[in-house]
A and B are shown apart, each in its own frame.
Chain A
Amino acid sequence: MRASTPSSEFFAGVKAELPILLGVAPFGMIYGALAMTAGLPALTAQAMSSIVFAGSAQFIAVQLIANGAPGLVLLLTTFVVNIRHMLYSASVAPYLTGLRPGWKWLLAYLLTDEAYAVAILHYQQTDSDMHRGDAKNAEDCAETSAYLRAEPTVSPCHRATLSRCRHWYLLGAGLALWTIWQMCTAIGITLGAAVPPGWALDFALPLTFIALLAPVLKDRPAGVAAFAAGAVALIGAGWPYKLGLVAAALTGIAAGAWADQRARGAAAAQGNA
């Protein structure tokens, strides 16, 4: 494996995000068009895409505004619909420790479903590369070298993580998505949803998630987590405010953790025998 640099990581992130953009683009346009139908001023509709920057929450907010819901309802709904991002935040956090606050604040702003999904896969895969001993190829990264100098006790694996500039990957994926989301909102506002529904481009989104899921199903706990989450998501698909998705994710993680515990228990028992 070649040593990674900020720009190689950045463009790898952009490239990994490209297929997802195909599926996101129609949603951005539909959002823009819906916001116009709901009577939002064009500037407000566009501002929501850059200030809130969360697809599902924006769709629901437009609906609520059209129905004349009060501001407090909008805020509560935003909170409930986006609470799943706390899981993403916890999941990427170990990969961002040691970065300057500015980096953390920027990457948090870009932490959408779609950017998270490609970045975490990259992080987990490069983790296994490092465990195979590729860490020595790592180059020092300007953003983290000060932290690494100040913290001599950082574990070798964590040191490799930081020195490989992998935060640039999330930046690339996040910025690519951000740019397309803003552009497609603008297109939807001015032209309406410019893609015919018959093209079914929205299907590119679940297809991308399928492509990302296959490599993370590498052991039994991961499989159990995916199965349980899928089952609960199916039951809760009709629940309001994406609560089905939150319940599904939490159930999946709990079920996977249980399978993990069992596997560890069995391994320990075998070790004692």
Chain B
Amino acid sequence: MTGATFWLTLVAMGLITYGIRLSMILLLGRIAMPAAAQRSLRLVPPAVLSALIVPELLRPAGALDISPGNPRLLAGLIAAAVAWRTKNALLTIGVGMAALWILQAVL
């Protein structure tokens, strides 16, 4: 791609991304959503967060690894326990990182 085409492509990529992010924010201000759909929106955070977390813990190197030799899985489980008990984000991240470093050194 030459310079001008390249910049045009870049701007178009930006517009596509921006359009997607803006779409529902603009649309839902104008049309009312069915009640069932509105209730389903509440499920977006748990679904998306879980989908982001699970592969990071169970497929850290790109292949399924449910063994005790997987430090990211163990550290993640420890962090999950801390998150569940304390609901404290900083503590969860601190304990999780420390656990990972220790497990990486030991395993």
Q: Which residues of A contact B (CB under 8 A)?
A: 16, 19, 22, 44, 47-48, 51-54, 57, 61, 65, 70-71, 74-75, 78-79, 82-94, 96-98, 104-105, 107-109, 111, 113, 117, 120-121, 124, 198, 200, 203-217, 221-223, 225-234, 237-238, 244-245, 248-249, 251-253, 256-257, 260
Residues on B with beta carbons closer than 8 Å to the beta carbon of A222: 42-43, 46
Contacts of A22 in B (CB 8 A): 93
Pick the most buried of B14, B48, B83, B90: most chain A CB atoms within 10 A of its CB.
B48
Please tell me which one of the listed residues B8, B47, B64 contacts residue A252 in the complex, with CB atoms under 8 A apart. B47
Residue of B11, B41, B83, B97 touching A94 (CB-CB under 8 A): B41
Contact B51 A248 (CB under 8 A): yes
Number of interface residues of B (CB under 8 A): 67
Judge whether A93 and B29 touch: CB under 8 Å: yes
Contacts of B45 in A (CB 8 A): 91, 117, 120-121, 124, 212-213, 216
Establish whether residues B44 and A226, one from each chain, have CB atoms under 8 Å apart when the complex forms.
no
**Is there contact, CB below 8 Å, between B18 and A108?**
yes
User: B97 touching A233 by the CB < 8 A rule?
Assistant: no
Interface of A is mostly: helix
Most chain A CB within a 10 A radius of its CB, from B58, B87, B93? B93
Contact among A198, A205, A230, A260 for B50, CB-based, below 8 A: A230
Question: Cβ of B52 and Cβ of A113 under 8 Å apart?
Answer: yes
A232–B8 alpha-carbon span in the complex (Å) = 36
Residues of A contacting B26 with CB < 8 Å?
104
Chain A CB within 10 Å, residue with most, of B43, B56, B79: B43
Residue of B nearest to A245 (CB): B51
Contact, CB under 8 Å: B44 / A91: yes
Q: Establish whether residues B16 and A75, one from each chain, have CB atoms under 8 Å apart when the complex forms.
A: yes
Nearest to A81 among chain B residues (CB) is B17
Q: How far is the CB of B55 from chain A (nearest CB, A)?
A: 4
- Distance, CA A244 to CA B101, complexed state (A): 29
Distance, CA A204 to CA B101, complexed state (A): 12
